[in-house]
Every structure is written in C-alpha cells, then in structure tokens.
Amino acid sequence: MTGIQRGGTAMDDLAPPAAGMNGALLSVRNLQTHFFSREGVVKAVDGVSFDIKPGEILGIAGESGCGKSVTSQSILRILPKNGKIVGGEILFQNEDRTVDLATEDADGRVLRDIRGKEIAMIFQEPMTAFSPVHSIGDQIIETIRIHQEVSKEEAHDQAVEMLRRVGMPNPARNIDEYTFNLSGGMRQRAMVALSLSCRPKLLIADEPTTAVDVTIQAQMLELLRDIQADLGMAIIMITHDLGVIAELTDRVMIMYLGKEVEHGTVEDVFHRPQHPYTRGLLASIPKMEPGRVEIEPIEGVVPNPYAMPTGCKFHTRCPDFIAGVCEKHDPPLTQVAKGHEVSCFLYGGRERLE
Amino acid sequence: MTITTRETDMNERTIISVRNLVKHFPIETGFLRRQVGVVKAVDNVNFDLNEGETLALVGESGCGKTTTSHCIIQAQRPTAGRVLFRIGDAEPMDLTQMEKGELKEARRNIRMIYQDPYSSLNPRMTLLQIIGEPLVIHRMVKNQDDLQERVAELLRLVRLDPSTMNRYPHAFSGGQRQRIAIARALSLSPKVVIADEAVSALDVSVQAQILNLLKELQNQLGLTYLFVAHNLAVVKYEADRVAVMYAGKIVEIGETEALYSNPRHPYTEALISAAPNPDPDTKHRERIVLSGEVADPGNLPGGCAFHPRCRYAEDRCRQEMPELIDVGGNEIQSHQAACHFAESLELTGIAGPTLREEGGSA
C-alpha cells in the first residue's frame, strides 16, 4: 500500500498506536460502532478505516443509515447512550503524543481537552450548537477560556476577531446577540466562529449545509474554503450531497450500511467510479448540464438495519451481483489505482476465498 | 361560479390559470392583536398551467411557492386574485369564489403530494385505509371488494406489492411511503397533481426512483404536474417549464432548457451558479455567491425586491418595481423576466456564457 496511509488490516491492529501514523493527524482503523436496543444490534459502523493529514479536506458521503454521522460521533465520543465503540482505534496526533480516542474515557480529561480545542464540530442545525439563553459572544468567550489561559478581555477580542473572519457584518455588535435574533445564515456563521474559536487542527462538519437554502449553502462553502486556506485546519465533511463533496473536498470515502465501499481522490471517484454503488449513486443524481441527461435509480430499498444482508451489504441491490460470492463473503478493499480503493469482488479478492 | 372563456384569457390547453394572485398575512401584535404590518407571501402572481405539462415553481424558503400551491387548492384562501380551473370543455370555475362544498369536485381533480411521507401518512391506518379513504369519501366505490380491488390496482400502479395493503406505514421505507402517498393522491383519478417538495426528503438513489415514477405516471395517465421544489437540478430533470419565485413574485418564467441555458433574471443566474454539481472539474469555476439573505416578505425593500443582493443593481432598481416582460421564446412557449435590464444583461447559464441570437430563435 504505497502512496496512501491506511490501517485496518488485521496485522496493523497488533501494532502499537504510535506506529504507522505516517504523518496523519487522525487515523481511524477498523472502527466498529454498534447500537444496542431491544430489537437487536445495529452495526452502524462496521470496520471503517481512513486517515486524514493536517490541512486536508476529506469527504465522507453516503445515504441515510450508512454510518457517516456515527463515524464522526465516534471520533468525538459523543455517541447516544446505546451506542458503543466495540472495536478498532481512533488515533489522534495530539501535539507529540498519539492518543487512541476509542479507548479514552468519554468524559475524561483527555477528551474534554481535545473536544472543542483540537477537534471541533459543526452541525446541521446551528440552534443545537448554541444555548438560547446566553449571547453568542458569551458562549464563544467561555469556549476560549476553557481551553486557553487568557483574560476575559483578551478572549472577547479573539471572539470578535473570529466573528469578523466568518463574515459577520458587525462583529463588535453581533457578539452580544442571541441566536434567535440571528437569521439562519448568520447563525451558521456564528456556529463556525464558535467551533473555530480555539483554532482546532480538525473540523468535523456534519451536514452543515443541508438545512439551508442554496444561496446560503454557496456562502457557507465559500466560507469553509476561505477559512481553511486561512487557518489551515483539516476538515472532515460529512454529507449526503455529492455536489458539496465535489465542490469542497480533496478525497472522498463513500459508505454504505456501515462499510466503506470506495475511497479515493474526488477526481478518481467522480470521474472513474468503480464500485457499483458509487456508479449507481452518481447515475441517480440529476445534473446541471444542458440538454436531456437521463438518471438511473438504484433498484430496491436500503435493507432493514436489524436484518443486514450477509456478505457484501450492497448485493441485494447490485446490478453486477455475482451469485455464490457476493452474498457469502465480505469483499476486501482492493486497490484499483494509486490511492483509489474499492471493496468489491469485481476488482479482486475472489482468488483468496478458497 | 362559472366564467365564460371570453372573460378570461385562458387558451384551450390551459387547465389552471392563476391571475393576480395575492396572499397577505397580517402581522399582529399585543393583547388587542393590532395589525402592524403585512407579510406579502404571494404578491401578484400570474401563470398558466397547461394540460399534460410539468410546471415547476422554484425558489428559496419564504419565496411563496408553497403558499401559491395552497392558494390553488384553496387550502389557504387568497387575499385577492383568481384561480381558474377548467375540466375538459366545461366553462372555467373560479376556485377562489367557491364555497367549501362546491370545491369538492375541483379537489377531486387537483391532488397534493407532500414532502415528508413520515408525517403525511396516518401511522394508525393501513395502506388500504390510507389509499381507500378518498374513494370512500367521494363515493367512488360500491363495496368493500370493489375498494380492495381499486387499492390493489393503485398499489401496482406505484410498483408496490398489493398483498401489503393491510400493513401500516411504519413497515415501509421513506421511498415506499412516498409511493403510498402518490397512490393516495392518484386514487380519485385527478387531472392535476401538486407535488410540494415531494422528493426533497429522500435519499438520492430513492429520489431518482420517485422522479422516474412520476414521469411514467404522467405519460400513462396524462397528468398535469405543478412541481414545487428548491433543488434546481431536480427541477431541470422533471419540468417542462419553470417559474422562479423571489419574495412572493415570479421573477422569471420560461421553458426549462431556455431558462437554464439562457437565464434573463440575475436571481435565476445566481441560483444556477450556486447549485452544486457533482463534478470536481467545476470546483474551480467562478461562482456567483449572493451576499445577504432572502428578502423578508414582511419588510420588502423598495423597487425590485432583489436589488440589495443584485450585482447589477442601479438606481432605477431601488425605485421602480420591474414588471414581467417578454424576453424571447415564441408564441407557444413564452419566456418572461421581471428585470429592468433583462434585455441588456449578458447572464450566464449552465452552458457557460452563451451568444444570444436576436429574437430568441435559438
């Protein structure tokens, strides 16, 4: 495996955490996050591995139930009560130390120091990120002072500066406003300012443009691009919208039912999609191109999470289904080009089955 | 109430004519509910819906597209204006003037599909009850056997297994639920279906199934669609004509391909430019990013409501409200835009900058 850094094979699991980060800021290896309920176990994330380097923008894309949001919640250890990381590693390069976020105490010192300071998150609905009874300034100042030893005045100045950076029209006044006084677009900007107030090394953006109008979405994407160029943090962009992925990210991982199906640069994945699911997804999106461009839906429905298909999770809907193989075995990740990997028996792995 | 065709300017292909439609909501305050202002949700909207076509109403939240559709089926009574509806060769009826009882026939012929199939279907009713309810209310079936037969037929029409008719909506996925909602909407064999963001809540692979199903049903049953949506790529795929709304008004209306490749209103241009395309090659193109947000319909700026966000705005735009004027097209498909400079601006559509031919014969 040259050219890319990734873990996730059985041998890597035995290696000590610090080894093999290869300059990655975050290295998720064979992550398994399951949900336990009365009806059974849902394997929301079932063996996902990826790396992100400092300053890189990675997209994680897939439809509802693919596990993209659970992956991000696992990284920050903010899973709902019935969700548990049951396997794998989440290695984070914190200063000169490598921390395995998967095994740290979710409420412990290490994670509380990392959350908000080293790794920050923005959400779909900005109202959930803020308390409605405190001004946005007070909340940003609080965040800054939890993580940095600065005076109130200094924190205030930093907060104003951050609000200015995210394009608030009048930062000195906006800092005393409450979220309910702000319009949707301004709330989004305030949330970005809050999340970036401690200059995190990694920003996780979970569907930040899904609930907003297209002109506000364009503003938001421009803001993320500018601020990434400005502050140089890495971004994990989680979205179902492949247009947003194409617009913003360098690399993309496509997920289906808790599994990684394809991974590569956006150019590779969008221009040379290999996995039948990726091809199906791209073919089902109406295009903004002149003339009549037909769309082809993926047949069938996403399986019930309590009754997951055996073998390749996509085999029930796959147009290239190989009987006797796909429903029996898990397809391994196969490299089809440098830095472009697919988990599908069409591209190899069958010879290893016997 | 009927109106002779001569009184209206409906042509023979028109099934619904919306004329000077206005819907204002009062802004009230205090204990005495004193009216202090008015939200102009829909402000003088005019369009024709022609038989067998798909007309899309597109725009951002608060532009009035949903209120317009509600005013058509009289779910909300318009403040002013007329909604003329005609079935076959009959005289057109003005729905705005009709009493609730009189509306029954019109409502049998104009049906709605909503965005969220999780809240639009009653979880305590079986598919048979959900789809069969309109048939019972409108006395379209003779007995229980007849009802079951008709519901089975409708389920097959939307590609669901008729043997599932005694199950409840929770057993179905989002896409399947939207099929159930479509079956219910089609149960009375309507002429017109209003789809209000009908695919917005669905995943893309399922969204494509529903978009294609709607098209097949249109061809099969000769339906006319009013397609209310915010996603420009979806609208491009589904609609024959598009009306772009901004702050309660139609700012541009025309044939889909012409409007997308040759937009004549700066707002349409910006919407097209902002729509993300799943192609990394377009990543580095120059995008028009509008500053600010959609105008508040309760406090509209003077002149053209779009002028504070328009990069071409001049003094005239701040003072004078532009009217919808013809900017091309032909006798059958007109292309209109409400911009003072629609004739002179060189706007960019999906194909990149285009050379406009005189008279719009392109």
Tens-place pLDDT, residues A120-155 = 999 888 778 889 999 999 999 999 999 999 999 999
Tell me if A214 and B230 make a contact (CB, 8 A cut-off): yes
In angstroms, what separates the C-alpha of B295 from chain A's closest C-alpha?
Answer: 11
Could you give the CA distance from residue A145 to residue B41 in angstroms, rounded to a whole number?
Answer: 45
* b/e map B296-307, b = 16+ CB within 10 Å: ebeebeebbbbb
* Integer angstrom CA distances of residue B314 from A343, B245, B287, B310: 56, 21, 22, 9
Predicted ipTM of the assembly:
0.86
Instruction: For residue A4, name the pLDDT band (cuts at 50, 70, 90).
Output: very low
Distance (Å, whole) CA B25 – CA B76: 11
- Position A17: which residue type? P
Identify which of A183, A246, A281 has the shortest CB distance to residue B279: A246
Structure letter (DSSP) for residue B345: -
Average pLDDT estimate for A157-181 = 91
CB contacts of B279 in chain A (<8 Å) are 246, 270, 287
The count of other CB atoms within 10 Å of the CB of residue A143 is 20
* Residue A100: pLDDT band with limits 50, 70, 90: very high
Under an 8 A CB cutoff, do A242 and B208 touch?
no
The residues pairing with A5 across neighbouring beta strands, listed in sequence order, are: none
Are residues B268 and B244 in contact, defined by beta-carbon separation less than 8 angstroms? yes
In this predicted structure, the answer to whether residue A221 has a pLDDT above a threshold of 70 is yes
Contact by Cβ (8 Å): A27, A51? yes
Tell if the CB–CB gap between A286 and B260 is shorter than 8 Å. no
Q: How far apart are CA B25 and CA B31, in angstroms?
A: 18
Q: Which residue on chain B is closest to A304 by alpha carbon?
A: B173
Q: 176-235 in A: which are within 8 Å (CB) of B?
A: 183-185, 213-219, 221-222
Work out the percent of chain A whose per-residue pLDDT is above 70.
94
- Strands A57-61 and A251-256, bridge-based pairing: parallel
Are A281 and B205 within 8 A, CB to CB? yes
- Tell me the whole-structure pTM to 2 decimals: 0.88
* Residues B73 and B1 sit within 8 Å (Cβ to Cβ): no
The predicted-structure confidence for B254-266, as pLDDT tens digits, reads as follows: 999 999 999 999 9
User: Which residue is it, tokens 């994945």?
Assistant: A269
pLDDT for A82 beyond 80: yes
A250/B contact by beta carbon, under 8 A:
no
